[in-house]
Amino acid sequence: MSARSIWSIPVVVLVVLVVLAGVQPAAADPRLGDSKLFDTWTGYPSGRYLEAVVAPDLNGDGKPDVAWARNDFFDNEMNVQLNLGDGTMSASVEYPVTESSTDIKSGDLDSDGDPDLVVISEGTSYTNSVVDLYFNDGGGTFAHTTAAGGYGPRKLVVADLDGDDDPDLALSNYWRNDISVLRNKGDGTFASEARYTVGSEPNGIDAADLDADGDLDLSVVRYDPSTGKVKVHLLTNSGAGVFALVKTIGLAFNTQGPPVVAGTDLDGDGDPDLAVAGGGDQVYVLKNAGGLSFTQQVFTGGFSAFDILATDVDLDGDADLLTPTYGSDTGEITLLRNQGAGTFSPPVTIESGRNPHDVAAADFSGEGRPDLAVANRITDTGSIHPQRADGSFAIPPIHATSSELPNALASADFDGDGDVDVAEGDVGLYEAGAVHVMRN
């Protein structure tokens, strides 16, 4: 008999579920359950419409914590959860944001030795020009203030752009045709923004030293409806945080969508390459050949990536690629493993919460391997996926009930084997209603 058996019991009214919870169980049948039905994946209530996640050590205990940005028109807050030491997270602490957040990043804005947080918001009218700043007291508690900059921004980079050893900000202004750069004065306050025109609807943005001159340049990606291509704009840095648009590369994706970009060394030659995703199931890898010259390769990734993360997931010394595929109803993260020279193995699908919009990697469980934190927009949960020793990731348990119209749930140890089972009520559409009991 299967360890995941289902009973179907005709009923007249669903109040039977309440009665079931109080019924004494029958004698245990050890074949019916193995007490291992539910995986070690964990979903945390983190507010509605999660949009982005970041995972620095916020309270200085050596363990990564999480902060979530939320694109919620009616509940303008961001959430912080601290690691309890065993890879599980505390209850969310909420902080106010301007409205309709689109991205969150961390960096030591005020040079006091702990990571602060930056949240950008496009706003309900898509014209927001307020950047939310959260200054850390060292213990993971934050004081909120704001800076002026951007115009309905979508994506954010926090990096030292002017070479003075403190992090600056670069924002992609999707609802305007430019990007904004805000230079840090060293104390967490910022100079007036500088704006650089790149074309309509800029979305993804990242910083890397593309021309090997010792300072960080910017790559900005956008979909160009006039050509049907994704445009990659390269802006080189003068060395003082002043930028010039010097090159544009066109990429032919098979489906349009807001593109995203990550800049890092993918082929192991010491200079940063670019990975671009966003339209359809394609990921472009642009290998840096020097002199701002790039060669292109296309790999199959997840459907409609909302973001892209380059990080060494399998600890083999090169950066792999992770994309949350928001076009998937089941909720999937796509992993492309780097084979060592900027070539990638076929995609691996990791099930997550529905409609994932962002992913971060950090060793939440303390086992020496990067785990994943995923911002799931539709399910209103942040999920933590521990990485197993074999390189796979724990996924949320999904169990079919055979119901036509599920209407109610109850849980108890119905079969007396020491673990919790689930009863689910079905009102029935073309057949009589039933209660389905799923044994653990």
pLDDT at site 206:
99
pLDDT at site 5:
39
Does residue 288 share a domain with residue 155?
yes
Does residue 339 share a domain with residue 284?
yes
pLDDT at site 394:
82
Beta strands at 371-376 and 381-385: parallel, antiparallel or unpaired:
antiparallel
The lowest-confidence range among 107-116, 368-377, 379-388, 418-427 is: 418-427
Query: Which one of 8-22, 125-139, 250-264, 271-285 scores highest in mean pLDDT?
Result: 125-139
Reported as a pLDDT band with limits 50, 70 and 90, residue 29 is: very low
Does residue 410 share a domain with residue 426?
yes
Reported as a pLDDT band with limits 50, 70 and 90, residue 82 is: very high
Reported as a pLDDT band with limits 50, 70 and 90, residue 9 is: very low
Does residue 135 share a domain with residue 71?
yes
Reported as a pLDDT band with limits 50, 70 and 90, residue 39 is: very low
Is the pLDDT at 216 greater than 90? The verdict is yes
For residues 188 and 21, give the distance between their C-alpha atoms in angstroms, rounded to a whole number.
55
Residues 162-200 have pLDDT tens digits of: 999 999 999 999 999 999 999 999 999 999 999 999 999
Does residue 277 share a domain with residue 198?
yes
Residue 153: which CATH number? 2.130.10.130
Phi, psi (5° rounding) for residue 19? Answer: -65, -40
Dihedral of the alpha carbons of 45, 47, 53, 57, in degrees to the nearest 10: -70
Residues 83-104 have pLDDT tens digits of: 998 878 898 999 999 989 999 9
pLDDT at site 99:
87
Q: How many domains in the chain?
A: 2
Does residue 157 share a domain with residue 143?
yes
Does residue 425 share a domain with residue 371?
no
The verdict on residue 254 lying in a domain is yes
The verdict on residue 107 lying in a domain is yes
The verdict on residue 394 lying in a domain is no
pLDDT at site 311:
98
Average pLDDT rounded to a whole number, residues 267-275: 97
Closest to 206 in 3D by CA, of 178, 227, 174, 235: 235
Reported as a pLDDT band with limits 50, 70 and 90, residue 412 is: confident
pLDDT at site 280:
77
For residues 294 and 313, give the distance between their C-alpha atoms in angstroms, rounded to a whole number.
25
Does residue 372 share a domain with residue 249?
yes
pLDDT at site 75:
79
Domain range for 411 is 6-37+404-438
Does residue 367 share a domain with residue 239?
yes
316 contact partners, CB below 8 Å, separation of at least 6: 338, 340
Does residue 190 share a domain with residue 129?
yes
Work out the mean pLDDT of the chain and round it to a whole number: 83
For residues 369 and 382, give the distance between their C-alpha atoms in angstroms, rounded to a whole number.
19
pLDDT at site 23:
38
The verdict on residue 11 lying in a domain is yes
Does residue 48 share a domain with residue 32?
no
Reported as a pLDDT band with limits 50, 70 and 90, residue 271 is: very high
Q: Which of the pair, 291 or 30, is modelled with greater confidence?
A: 291
